[in-house]
Amino acid sequence: MATPLAPMFNSVGNDLTVLVFAPFGKDSTLIERVLQQSGINACAIPSFKELIRAVPENGGAVIISEEVLHHEAVDELAQKLATQPRWSDFPLIVLTGGGATTDTTELAVRSRAPLGNVALLERPLRPVTLISSVRGAIAARRRQYEIRDHLLERKRAEEALQRAHDVLESLVEERTAALRALSGKLLRVQDEERRRIARELHDSLGQYLAAAKINLNVVATAGGDGTLYIQEASQLIDRAIADTRTLSHLLHPPLLDEAGFASAARWYVEGFGKRSGIAATLDMPDNLRRLPSPIETALFRILQEALTNVHRHSKSPVVDVSLKTGAKSVTLIIKDKGRGIPRQVLEKFRKTGTNVGVGLAGIRERVKELDGTLKIDSSDAGTLLKAVIPVSVPEQREAGLPVLSPIYSSIVH
């Protein structure tokens, strides 16, 4: 009997089913008929055992006669109802006899307390009262389902929030580790740069100045004509001055501050080609005006880092550098024909900014600081680095630069 009834009891919403168990007389049949005529799903249950089996989580209510609710039946039904979820308060409508309240009826009411949500309906039944009581019970049951749905939705939202929190925690940890690694690399690069500068000072400037001092000491102590020693000392000092200028320019070229990125880039690319033996070309607008100082500095450092990577890692015979200007941005492109960056290394860099040297990581941070975008494509045919940095009119005004530069020609015309 329970199997064919199950589909009716698993419905929700307007199809909530009222179970009717009044085993004596025709009460069950009559109640079922009255409810169904009023548009309420109702089903008469033939036995208490079937009732216990049929009480579902998605049921609407139970109508049961008080004659059935002896002590053992109350305990059994209470145990079944106790398995309902916490949001569920299953409604029971108990058919009682009419008449005055007595000790017996009071005892019966107290004995039914473990059943929870119990409403009493006196017999003889009036259809209007019956229908009203059942509809009230079903309405309360529907509100319980609304609470259930709200709790489920909140639980899903909490789970989604927890997953998002876990992802963010992971990203923060990964980013922190990446920043820690980058900081360590920067410190090592700084130490290496200091050692390189120290070697340059010692091996070139130091040697030239020491030799010049020896020549001047010879002139001072030997007497006579010291023209040759003085000339040699002058030549050594000239070399020291030239090396000092070269070292200073490599650290921060005065051209960048005095004449702007265009002049500094031409000087650097030309020098890079001579020093490295790599054929380097530069394509840049002839009438490029000055850019805001932070942008010019960033472009120059990106150019330095990119060409250094080409020389150290790509094994490319050529490198092409181009600068393109637009109404609202400036784009620096460096392209070589070397062996490229390994795919897995580049993918990791795109996702986390790690797994590469300080050079690319530094470029990425410089571009991010200026709200720009960095794109790197690499294959066996070579690598293309493209940095796009936004430039706005207010930035030029703040830098004290002419606003009507070629970069903004499309706005003016």
Backbone φ and ψ for 95, nearest 5 degrees, come out as -85, 115
CA distances to 196, 244, 285 from 251, in Å = 12, 11, 25
Average the pLDDT over 98-109 and give the result.
61
With 70 as the cut, is the pLDDT of residue 394 above it?
Answer: no
pLDDT surpasses 70 at 107: no
pLDDT confidence of residue 177: 78
Determine the Cα angle at 290 with ends 360 and 261, to 5°: 40
Predicted local distance difference test score (pLDDT) of residue 397 = 43
CB proximity list for 28: less than 8 A, separation 6 or greater: 20, 21, 22, 44, 45
Domain ranges of the chain: 2-125, 260-412
Q: Can you tell me the mean pLDDT for 301-316?
A: 89
Report the share of the chain in percent with pLDDT over 70. Answer: 79
Each residue's pLDDT tens digit, 153-183 = 999 999 999 999 999 988 888 877 777 777 7
pLDDT tens-place string over residues 58-75: 678 999 998 888 888 899
pLDDT tens-digit map of 32-47: 999 999 999 999 999 9
Label the pairing between strands 373-379 and 382-390.
Answer: antiparallel
Confidence of residue 192 (pLDDT cuts 50, 70, 90): confident
Give burial (CB, 10 Å; 0-12/13-18/19+) of 356: buried
Please report the pLDDT score of residue 400 as a whole number.
47
pLDDT tens, residue by residue, 267-296? 889 988 998 899 999 999 988 888 898 899
| Residue whose structure tokens are 């850019």 | 291
- Kindly report the backbone phi and psi dihedral angles of residue 25, in degrees, each rounded to the nearest multiple of 5, phi listed first: 75, -150
Rounded mean pLDDT of the chain? 80
Rg (alpha carbons) of the chain, rounded to whole number = 44
Give me the residues paired with residue 333 across strands. Answer: 322, 386
How far is CA 103 from each of CA 107, 109, 293, 366, rounded to the nearest angstrom?
6, 10, 97, 88
Beta bridge partners of residue 214, listed in sequence order: none
Structure tokens belonging to residue 58: 């998605």
What integer pLDDT is reported at residue 68 of this predicted model? 87
Strands 61-65 and 17-21: parallel
Distance CA 411, CA 54 (A): 77
**Residue 364 pLDDT level (bands cut at 50, 70, 90):** confident
**Of 137 and 214, more confident:** 137
The residue assigned the tokens 């020693």 is: 229
pLDDT digits (tens, 9 = 90+) for 330-356: 999 999 999 888 888 888 787 766 555
Q: How confident is the model at residue 372 (pLDDT cuts 50, 70, 90)?
A: very high
Q: State the pLDDT at residue 208.
A: 73
Report the alpha-carbon distance of residue 158 to residue 166 in Å, rounded. 12
Q: What percent of the chain has pLDDT over 90?
A: 30
Least confident stretch, 142-146, 313-317, 341-345: 341-345
Whole-angstrom CA distances from 365 to 147, 337, 343, 360, 374 are: 50, 25, 21, 9, 10
**pTM over cut 0.85:** no
Q: pLDDT value at position 35?
A: 93
pLDDT at 248 over 50: yes
DSSP state of 115: G
CA dist., res. 90 & res. 264, Å (int): 82
DSSP of 182-226: HHHHHHHHHHHHHHHHHHHIIIIIIHHHHHHHHHHHHHHHH-S--
Euclidean distance between CA atoms 279 and 192, whole angstroms: 27
Lowest mean pLDDT among 11-25, 159-173, 305-319: 11-25
Q: How confident is the model at residue 88 (pLDDT cuts 50, 70, 90)?
A: confident
CB proximity list for 256: less than 8 A, separation 6 or greater = 263, 264, 296, 297, 300
- 165, 200 Cβ separation under 8 angstroms: no
- What strands, in cross-sheet order, belong to the sheet with 61-65? 41-44, 17-21, 61-65, 92-96, 118-122
What 8-state DSSP symbol labels residue 90? -
Q: Mean of the pLDDT values across residues 398-402?
A: 46
Distances (CA, A) of 247 to 95, 198, 251: 103, 11, 6
Fold exhibited by the domain 260-412:
Heat Shock Protein 90 (3.30.565)
- Which residues, listed in sequence order, are joined to residue 335 by a DSSP beta bridge? 320, 384
| Residue 223 banded pLDDT, cuts 50, 70, 90 | low
Residues in the chain: 413
Fold observed for domain 2-125: Rossmann fold (3.40.50)
Q: What is the pLDDT of residue 25?
A: 80
In the block, residue with structure tokens 């380097």: 280
What is the distance between the alpha carbons of residues 367 and 390, in angstroms, rounded to a whole number? 10
Distance CA 384, CA 377 (A): 5
> Does 12 score more than 60 pLDDT?
no
- Do the beta carbons of residue 289 and residue 407 sit within 8 Å? yes
pLDDT of residue 9: 36
